[in-house]
């Protein structure tokens, strides 16, 4: 199956694809139809280097982003369950051979306390993360924690969607995971380049490229509806990784009727005990990172692109424009990171601001922070989600849900400045609403929230 997912020769042939100015303009123009672009077209755009064409690319990416996602940015926080790992990924602080780090697996009580500390800041969506060590982090443990986390209620808040990034499972294990009530299952190929993959993953279960590559197929066959793919940028040529991510997405869509729900684009950050993490073999410049995001936005307009706090604050601001739809904020990358007793971090976080500081900046810049978790709760998942997203119908839900969940945040958690900016922003969105019926409904719901009702969603 692996050969059907990634055709290395085809990617290599496309890698240096160049085109005339007229062809570049045509690709950019056609992308406005929101139908995606071909692999060859993506390769051409990935090779653009002159300022003028890059600016054109960024402008189109920005237009598509606004068309599909408006100014909404969905927020989440990662919760690290365990940093025990039997793999040896050379770039990761959690790898087995890194004997100097403090290892920790959260007990149920510790996971509850981490959850409550995250809830206290206003988050509603958590991404569970763990190293790969089945003697420490198995499905019984994950199931128990998920149940306990969903039970937590704090002030007016609770976790409304748990996504999960844990080691790849078998089809039978995915079947079991699909009954735990999670949103998206994420796993990153790290690098799609087979040789570099081998070098970076010398032993452990993860050393098997094919097993890793077939993860999402097993997940979908096991009954999961939303899967998130990704590549760890800095290992191989970024053009190879983007083309492979697109090839993987096309394969999933063709085979299972639905492509990935999200694409993550982590860039390697320094990590304790990893030389590679401080000097990645194919380090990505900021300009190329922007290009990666813009080309993905044109190629798979309806797939969410996730940016983590690996990136520093000022740069994250620039990247939002180009197509990012979800960001983490106020993140810790170590088990126990939100509490007193902390273990070693997986990598260094580039944006260390609190959730409220991030929200204040988003609102000041005119972005609408969203804590919406509605789709997965009402069953708009997998193909059903894409069928609504493609004709633009999802907008009817996303915008009001974003405003309502942001209003909750402003009342329950925001600092004074954020409250002020946020309410001004909501008022502006309401006065821009053309549909008077929609406006009336939204005002009614906002009033209910002001009077104490929570968790209203469409």
CB of 68 to ligand SF4, least distance (A): 31
Backbone angles phi, psi at 41, to 5 degrees: -65, -40
Subset of 262-291 contacting ligand SAM (CB under 6 A): 266, 268-269, 271, 277
Residue 289 or 347: which CB sits closer to ligand SF4? 347
Site string for ligand SF4, 185-214 (x = CB under 6 A): ---------------------x--------
Residue 117 or 189: which CB sits closer to ligand SF4? 189
CB of 346 to ligand SF4, least distance (A): 7
Residue 131 or 301: which CB sits closer to ligand SF4? 131
CB of 256 to ligand SAM, least distance (A): 21
Task: Give the whole-angstrom CA distance, residue 426 versus residue 423.
Answer: 5
Instruction: Report what 95 binds from ligand SF4, ligand SAM, none; CB cut-off 5-8 Å by kind.
Output: ligand SF4
Among 56, 65, 72, 95, binds ligand SF4 (CB under 6 A): 95
Instruction: Report what 232 binds from ligand SAM, ligand SF4, none; CB cut-off 5-8 Å by kind.
Output: ligand SAM
Residue 115 or 346: which CB sits closer to ligand SAM? 346
How many residues in the shown chain lie near ligand SAM by CB under 6 A? 20
Residue 75 or 92: which CB sits closer to ligand SF4? 92
Question: Which residues share a beta bridge with 233?
Answer: 267
Subset of 131-190 contacting ligand SAM (CB under 6 A): 131-132, 165-167, 187-188, 190
CB of 304 to ligand SF4, least distance (A): 22
Residue 122 or 131: which CB sits closer to ligand SF4? 131
Residue 219 or 449: which CB sits closer to ligand SF4? 219
Tokens of 400: 């009001």
Name the residue among 305, 362, 303 with its Cα closest to residue 330. 362
Q: How far is CA 104 from the centre of its chain?
A: 25
- Judge whether 227 and 251 are in contact, CB under 8 Å: no
How many residues in the shown chain lie near ligand SF4 by CB under 6 A? 9
**358 CB neighbour count, 10 Å cutoff:** 24
Task: Give the whole-angstrom CA distance, residue 237 versus residue 43.
Answer: 12
Subset of 201-230 contacting ligand SAM (CB under 6 A): none
CB of 176 to ligand SAM, least distance (A): 18
Greatest Cα pair distance, the chain, in angstroms, is: 62
131 in contact with ligand SF4 (CB under 6 A): yes
- Judging by DSSP bridges, how do beta strands 161-165 and 125-130 pair with one another? parallel
- Judge whether 54 and 48 are in contact, CB under 8 Å: yes
385-410 per-residue burial string, b: 16 or more CB within 10 A, e: under 16: bbebbeeeebbebbbbbbbbbbbbbb
**Among the candidate windows 89-97, 111-119, 334-342, 384-392, which touches ligand SF4 by CB under 6 A?**
89-97
Instruction: Report what 347 binds from ligand SF4, ligand SAM, none; CB cut-off 5-8 Å by kind.
Output: ligand SAM
Name the residue among 346, 356, 329, 335 with its Cα closest to residue 421. 356
Tokens of 24: 């570049």
Residue 251 or 347: which CB sits closer to ligand SF4? 347
Residue 58 or 197: which CB sits closer to ligand SF4? 197
Instruction: Report what 310 binds from ligand SF4, ligand SAM, none; CB cut-off 5-8 Å by kind.
Output: ligand SAM
Among 174, 251, 338, 347, binds ligand SAM (CB under 6 A): 347
Task: Give the whole-angstrom CA distance, residue 88 versus residue 373.
Answer: 35
Instruction: Report what 6 binds from ligand SF4, ligand SAM, none; CB cut-off 5-8 Å by kind.
Output: none
CB of 84 to ligand SF4, least distance (A): 9
CB of 82 to ligand SAM, least distance (A): 9
Instruction: Report what 268 binds from ligand SAM, ligand SF4, none; CB cut-off 5-8 Å by kind.
Output: ligand SAM
Task: Give the whole-angstrom CA distance, residue 298 versus residue 319.
Answer: 14
- Inter-axis angle of helices 21-31 and 39-46, to 10 degrees? 120
Q: Which residues bind ligand SF4 (CB under 6 A)?
A: 85, 87, 89, 92, 94-95, 131-132, 206
Q: Which residues bind ligand SAM (CB under 6 A)?
A: 91-92, 129, 131-132, 165-167, 187-188, 190, 232, 266, 268-269, 271, 277, 310, 346-347
């Amino acid at each position: 199956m692996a050969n059907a997912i990634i055709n290395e020769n085809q990617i290599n042939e496309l890698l240096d694809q160049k085109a005339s100015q007229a062809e570049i303009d045509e690709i950019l123009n056609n992308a406005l139809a929101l139908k995606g672009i071909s692999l060859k077209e993506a390769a051409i755009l990935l090779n653009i280097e002159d300022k003028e064409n890059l600016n054109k690319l960024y402008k189109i990416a920005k237009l598509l982003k606004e068309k599909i996602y408006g100014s909404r940015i969905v927020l989440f926080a990662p919760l690290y369950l365990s940093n025990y790992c039997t793999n040896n990924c050379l770039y990761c602080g959690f790898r087995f051979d890194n004997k100097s780090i403090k290892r920790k697996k959260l007990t149920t009580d510790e996971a509850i306390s981490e959850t409550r500390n995250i809830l206290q800041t206003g988050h509603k969506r958590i991404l569970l993360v763990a190293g790969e060590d089945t003697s420490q982090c198995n499905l019984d443990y994950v199931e128990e924690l998920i149940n306990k986390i969903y039970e937590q209620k704090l002030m007016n808040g609770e976790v409304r969607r748990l996504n999960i990034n844990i080691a790849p499972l078998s089809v039978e294990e995915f079947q079991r995971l699909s009954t735990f009530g999670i949103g998206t299952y994420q796993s990153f190929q790290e690098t799609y380049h087979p040789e570099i993959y081998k070098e970076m993953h010398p032993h452990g279960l993860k050393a098997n490229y094919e097993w890793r590559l077939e993860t999402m197929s097993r997940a979908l066959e096991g009954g999961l509806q939303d899967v998130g793919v990704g590549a760890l940028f800095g290992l191989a040529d970024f053009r190879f990784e983007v083309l492979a991510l697109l090839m993987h997405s096309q394969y999933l869509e063709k085979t299972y009727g639905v492509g990935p729900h999200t694409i993550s684009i982590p860039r390697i950050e320094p990590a304790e005990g990893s030389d590679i993490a401080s000097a990645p073999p194919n380090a990505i410049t900021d300009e190329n990172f922007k290009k990666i995001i813009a080309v993905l936005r044109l190629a798979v307009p309806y797939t969410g692109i996730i940016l983590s706090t690996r990136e520093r604050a000022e740069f994250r601001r620039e990247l939002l424009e180009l197509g990012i739809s979800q960001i983490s904020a106020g993140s810790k990358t170590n088990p126990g990171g939100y509490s007193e007793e902390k273990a070693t971090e997986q990598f260094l976080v580039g944006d260390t601001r609190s959730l409220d500081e991030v929200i204040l900046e988003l609102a000041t810049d005119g972005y609408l922070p969203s804590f919406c978790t509605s789709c997965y709760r009402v069953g708009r998942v997998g193909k059903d989600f894409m069928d609504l997203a493609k004709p633009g119908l999802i907008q009817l839900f996303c915008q009001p849900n974003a405003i309502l969940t942001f209003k909750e945040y402003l009342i329950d958690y925001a600092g004074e400045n954020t409250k002020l900016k946020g309410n001004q922003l909501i008022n502006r969105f309401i006065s821009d609403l053309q549909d008077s019926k929609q406006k009336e409904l939204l005002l009614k719901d906002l009033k209910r929230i002001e009077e104490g009702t929570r968790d209203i969603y469409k």
